[in-house]
């Protein structure tokens, strides 16, 4: 039993949770805050849920409007609409709008709750079973040739030289996800290099667990294809967020959380090597998550896919040592973090030029640019992260996070006294 509860009333959420788990101790009750996260994604059908419990209202929101929207989505899970009074105007309107059932809280009847949830779950199971046998499902479960039964293709996001990216709905995760699929290609001389890169990313991400790193839901091999299923970020990346403007506190908070994410991957023996705003995503709760380990290098892996001296990454965000093909360590990623922090605060990159080689030269030789006077409190952090010599930068992601936290605390104290 897996239920999606769309509500912001803590008392009501607690009561429903208690009753559901009293009947089904192993039930998975997922709470969705409509006021914090906004409307459900347009293509979401809640296929991974037995039923959806939808509140009548919440601060600034109208559950009945949501119900009309959800009822128009073919294949959406059964919706149990929660009202004060079943026979009131909202309850009657909910029936007309297409609710599977209406449940009243004014006269809370535990047996009726269990009954309607059981019936809704049975209908969902039957509907999903029929859909899985249909030609529509056969088409929707085709991802560039790979047949993945527990996923429904929504959109082909991108086609690259190595892999295809899809937006899909996962019955297992109960959410929209991003599917990365590549064909398992082999050559006479062994495994194709592009496949090697995919396998390396596969090995890197499967064991990473951190709140500021993309969540990986599934990975595997099927039909001569490899695939990774990862978290989907409806709000987009940090680059998009930066266009809307950021406060100094927001800039530092994002930078601190990224430093902690780097600490986590560095502790696992991984260098990211391509840290940039496009590889930093925003969740609904405004926290950041590090993605894209396609260029990352795990020290522990026996598979070596790059030659010494080759340059991989994005010139605007490369450390001096990375840009010149020299050996790198964790402090190279911290330099990239410094570039991002400067760009978030100043609204422009620290170094720019007409061609990539000129940009790399600036990273190595040009003075560290100064932030506007209003952002002077951040300059010491920028100076530390953008030090030309790796020896002059923080020694770890944790040390960088601590340095940033000190400035955050200082700014918070100044606001209180001011």
What residues act catalytically? 274
CA distance 139 to 133: 11
The residue among 226, 328, 352 whose CA lies nearest residue 275 is 328
Going by DSSP bridges, is the β-strand pair 51-55/2-6 parallel, antiparallel, or unpaired? parallel
For residue 384, CA distances in Å to 46, 126, 388 come to: 47, 60, 9
For the stretch 133-142, what's the b/e string if a residue is b when 16 or more beta carbons lie within 10 angstroms of its beta carbon? eeeeeeebbe
Task: For the chain, report the end-to-end CA distance as a whole number of angstroms.
Answer: 53
The residue among 287, 72, 284, 51 whose CA lies nearest residue 174 is 51
As given in the structure block, the two tokens for residue 34 are 């409509």
Q: Which H helix or E strand runs over 191?
A: strand 190-191
Residue 40 half-sphere exposure toward CB, CA atoms < 13 A: 27
The residue among 233, 243, 237, 235 whose CA lies nearest residue 258 is 237
Q: Do the Cβ atoms of 56 and 82 come closer than 8 Å?
A: yes
330-346 and 397-417 helices cross at what angle (nearest 10)?
30
The answer to whether the Cα torsion of 40, 45, 49, 55 is positive or negative is: positive
Which string of DSSP letters, residue by residue, matches 106-170?
TT--HHHHHHHHHHHHHHHHHHHHHHHTSHHHHHHTEETTEE-TTEEEEEEEEE-SS-EEEEEEE
CA distance 331 to 122: 55
The residue among 107, 10, 13, 110 whose CA lies nearest residue 53 is 13
């Amino acid at each position: 039993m897996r239920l999606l509860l769309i509500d912001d009333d803590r008392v009501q959420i607690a009561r429903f949770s208690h009753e559901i788990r009293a009947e089904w101790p192993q039930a998975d009750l997922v709470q969705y805050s409509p006021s914090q996260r906004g409307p459900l994604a347009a293509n979401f059908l809640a296929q991974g849920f037995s039923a959806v419990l939808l509140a009548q209202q919440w601060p600034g929101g109208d559950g009945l409007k949501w119900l009309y929207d959800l009822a128009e989505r073919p294949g959406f899970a059964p919706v149990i609409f929660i009202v004060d009074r079943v026979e009131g105007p909202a309850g009657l309107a909910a029936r007309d709008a297409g609710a599977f059932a209406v449940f009243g809280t004014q006269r809370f009847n535990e047996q009726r709750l269990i009954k309607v949830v059981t019936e809704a779950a049975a209908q969902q199971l039957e509907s999903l079973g029929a859909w899985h046998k249909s030609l529509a499902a056969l088409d929707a479960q085709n991802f560039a040739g790979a047949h993945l039964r527990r996923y429904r293709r929504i959109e082909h996001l991108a086609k690259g030289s190595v892999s295809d990216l899809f937006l899909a709905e996962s019955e297992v995760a109960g959410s929209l996800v991003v599917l990365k699929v590549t064909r398992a290609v082999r050559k006479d001389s062994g495994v194709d290099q592009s496949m090697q890169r995919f396998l390396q990313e596969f090995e890197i991400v499967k064991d990473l667990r951190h709140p500021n790193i993309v969540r990986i839901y599934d990975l595997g091999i099927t039909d001569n294809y490899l695939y990774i299923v990862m978290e989907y970020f409806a709000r987009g990346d940090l680059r998009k967020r930066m266009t809307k403007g950021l406060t100094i506190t927001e800039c530092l908070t994002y930078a601190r959380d990224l430093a902690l994410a780097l600490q986590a991957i560095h502790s696992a023996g991984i260098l990211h090597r391509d840290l940039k705003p496009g590889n930093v995503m925003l969740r609904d709760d405004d926290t950041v998550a590090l993605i894209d380990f396609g260029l990352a290098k795990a020290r522990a892996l026996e598979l070596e896919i790059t030659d010494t001296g080759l340059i991989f990454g994005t010139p605007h965000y490369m450390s001096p040592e990375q840009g010149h093909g020299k050996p790198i360590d964790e402090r190279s990623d911290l330099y990239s973090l410094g570039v991002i922090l400067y760009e978030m605060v100043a609204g422009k990159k620290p170094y720019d030029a007409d061609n990539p080689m000129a940009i790399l030269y600036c990273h190595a030789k040009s003075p560290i640019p100064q932030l506007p006077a209003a952002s002077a409190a951040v300059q010491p952090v920028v100076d530390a992260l953008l030090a030309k010599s790796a020896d002059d930068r923080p020694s770890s992601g944790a040390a960088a996070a601590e340095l940033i936290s000190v400035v955050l605390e200082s700014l918070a104290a100044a606001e209180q006294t001011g």
